[in-house]
Amino acid sequence: MADVTSPAIPRPPSRTAKRIRALLAEPKVIFGGGFILILIILAIFAPYIAPKDPLEQDLMSGTLPPAWIDGSDPGFLLGTDDLGRDVLSRAIFGTRIALTVAFVAAGLAALIGTLLGLLAGWYGGWIDKVISRLVDIWMAFPPVLLSILLVAVFGSGVHSVIAAIVIIDWTRFCRVVRSETQAQAQMDYVTAAHTIGFSRARILFSEILPNVTPVLIALVSLEMGIAVIVEAILSFVGLSVASDTPTWGGMIAEGRQMIYQGWWVLVVPLIALFATVLAFNQLGDGLRRALDPVMRR
């Protein structure tokens, strides 16, 4: 009698595999994340990728146009500034400051704001009142003006810029996470967790937090773009890093003074700034669409 073997039942894809497929199927994640990945590579390997030393001056080569314009020098692909410094190299090195501020400031602001938002939305009562009033008072100040004031008090430098952004923008995360936590607290799965006997802290961090994460991820990506803009503004007014350090905001400030003699000194960092902020926004929107089961339907 021949053995009858039952066909193998394929295993359903894991949750991680489903998320990876959803991410790869989202065009905004591919394009936005791909552009940010390129910027990260440029920032890490800037000394090897940049064709010139960004601080090297050559007054004889000042205000050379980009390579496709008459009168250019092939050695300076995107031209030079009034001091003869290579615009392309300075733009590449500028990604270091921009991404450092973006990732560190957004991460710290998200950590503080998320924790306070979870506590306010879940426990309510006097905890919610205190945190909510603090957020209202903090958000009454103009953010750009407050950031300039904080950096002026702390002193210039990357650490001061990061601290200023964190102090200002934790409120953005707190308000959104508080609202989402209150909405999630009314769901049936929270009631079931109470019935099983889970503690309130366990329900908050193991049940509610994972469901708030898609919104949080989108907000972090948006905050990274905002942090890049704030750092550029502070660099533009001379309140970020040292003046000789290549930053996009500093390049914009220099290019504004010589826009008629060398428009490329202004345009290159503006394009880099615009593209980076757009990439962060697209990435955040794509991540939320891919990770949020409600938006995938």
* Higher pLDDT pick, 234 / 293: 234
State pLDDT tens for residues 68-79: 888 777 888 888
Is the model's pLDDT at 151 over the cut of 80? no
Cα–Cα distance between 242 and 249 in angstroms, integer?
12
Q: How far apart are the first and last CA of the chain?
A: 50
Cα–Cα distance between 145 and 141 in angstroms, integer?
8
Tokens read off for 168: 């200002």
Cα–Cα distance between 242 and 244 in angstroms, integer?
6
Per-residue model confidence (pLDDT) at position 1: 46
Per-residue model confidence (pLDDT) at position 38: 94
Angle (nearest 5°) at CA 122 between 281 and 108: 40
Give the residue among 240, 264, 239, 244 at the shortest CA–CA distance from 252: 264
Cα–Cα distance between 80 and 66 in angstroms, integer?
8
The DSSP letter of residue 205 is: I
Query: Residues 246-273: what's their mean pLDDT?
Result: 88
Give the Å distances, CA to CA, from 226 to 99, 101, 104: 11, 10, 13
Is the model's pLDDT at 15 over the cut of 50? yes
* Higher pLDDT pick, 115 / 141: 115
Is the model's pLDDT at 292 over the cut of 70? no
Helix (H) or strand (E) holding 59: none
Domain chopping of the chain, boundaries? 25-44+78-296
Give the Å distances, CA to CA, from 151 to 109, 251, 270: 16, 19, 23
Contact 1, 258 (CB under 8 A): no
- The architecture of the domain spanning 25-44+78-296 is Orthogonal Bundle (1.10)
